[in-house]
Amino acid sequence: TQSKMAAVFKTLKVATVQRLSVITLARPERFNAFNFEMYQEVQEALSNAAKDDSIHAALITGEGAYYSSGNDLSMFGSHSPADIAARGRPLLNKFVSSFIEFPKPLIAAVNGPAIGIAVTKLALCDVVYASDSATFHTPFAMLGQTPEGCSSVTFPAIMGSALANEVLLGGRKLDAREAQQSGLVADVFPRDVFAATALKRATALAAAPRQTLQYGKALVRGAARAGLHAANDAECERLAERWQSKDCLEAAQRFLKRK
């Protein structure tokens, strides 16, 4: 498997393996938490993969023990709530849109715990593999926040409304097998062979002709796109309000005190 390095990023590592673009979330010292820069760079990496005709599919995974711990809540310590709402709303909206609009198969390889936006965006990927060490947690309500990443529509569609509400509103954490049973995850591999197995499966998928894969994805995903964009807009509008609310500020302060 030939592997060549692509564009250089600060928060990501991007490499090409055969016909697959491998995007690794690479802030292991922060458990691959999303800051403003990582939101921007993931969009750039997806855009590059979309435009490159030699790339047939993309895979997103995390460096180290975590897939991603979600939003870097230390942002709440260094930015005013109004600033977070002003910057965060369009950035999150564009980030989620880049997943909705990505024209090629998008595979997530969840190598460890995933929290918040790292979980919700999985439903916008076409295939999700999980390590048996992975967990899936969306503690939005406890943080004074509401669902994002189109999860308000994708999670009920995938797992049924009862489980989706426990996950999104009740903050129920799913382990890898539960996530597979819920329909969010396609397959679970043992952690010691996870990276190699997920890469093997992803490169096999990417070996198919590019246009055939793109047309197939367009048929599977096409009808839902308008609804996903509408959900993204509504979620981002509510979150911009929540980020400036007493609920969210108190939760962020509790989090920052724990550190």
R_g of the chain computed on alpha carbons: 17
Tell me which long-range contacts 229-234 makes (C-beta under 8 A, separation of at least 24): 229/97, 229/100, 231/150, 231/152, 231/153, 231/154, 232/93, 232/96, 232/97, 232/100, 232/148, 232/149, 232/150, 233/93, 234/152
**pLDDT in the model for residue 4:** 47
Average pLDDT over residues 192-201: 98
Dihedral sign, Cα of residue 166, residue 168, residue 170, residue 173: positive
Query: Which pair of tokens denotes residue 95?
Result: 């980030």
Residue 196 pLDDT more than 50? yes
Residue with the bigger pLDDT between 109 and 79: it is 109
What length is written for the chain?
259
Q: What is the pLDDT of residues 53-68, one digit of tens each?
A: 999 999 999 999 999 9
Helix (H, G, I), strand (E, B) or coil at 34: strand
**Amino acid type, 132:** D
**pLDDT in the model for residue 259:** 59
Average pLDDT over residues 74-94: 90
> What is the phi/psi pair of residue 25, to 5°?
-70, 120
Which residue has 């010691």 as its token pair? Answer: 192
**pLDDT in the model for residue 43:** 98
Sheet bearing 135-137, strands edge to edge: 114-115, 135-137, 174-175
Percent of the chain with pLDDT over 70: 97
Residue 110 pLDDT more than 90? yes
**pLDDT in the model for residue 83:** 92
Strand segments (E) across 51-194: 57-62, 106-110, 114-115, 127-131, 135-137, 174-175, 187-189
If you ran DSSP here, which 8-state letter would residue 173 be given? P
**pLDDT in the model for residue 3:** 45
**pLDDT in the model for residue 2:** 42
Least confident of 2-16, 90-104, 121-135, 198-212: 2-16
Torsion of CA 51, 131, 180, 160, to 10 degrees: -70
Q: How confident is the model at residue 228 (pLDDT cuts 50, 70, 90)?
A: very high
Mean pLDDT over the full length of the chain? 95
Q: How confident is the model at residue 33 (pLDDT cuts 50, 70, 90)?
A: very high
Average pLDDT over residues 128-149: 97
Least confident of 3-12, 81-90, 161-170, 238-247: 3-12
65, 80, 95, 165, 228 from 150: Cα distances, Å: 26, 26, 11, 14, 6
H or E element at residue 155 = helix 151-159
DSSP symbols for 55-89: --EEEEEESSS-SB--B-TTHHHHS-HHHHHHHHH
**Amino acid type, 57:** A
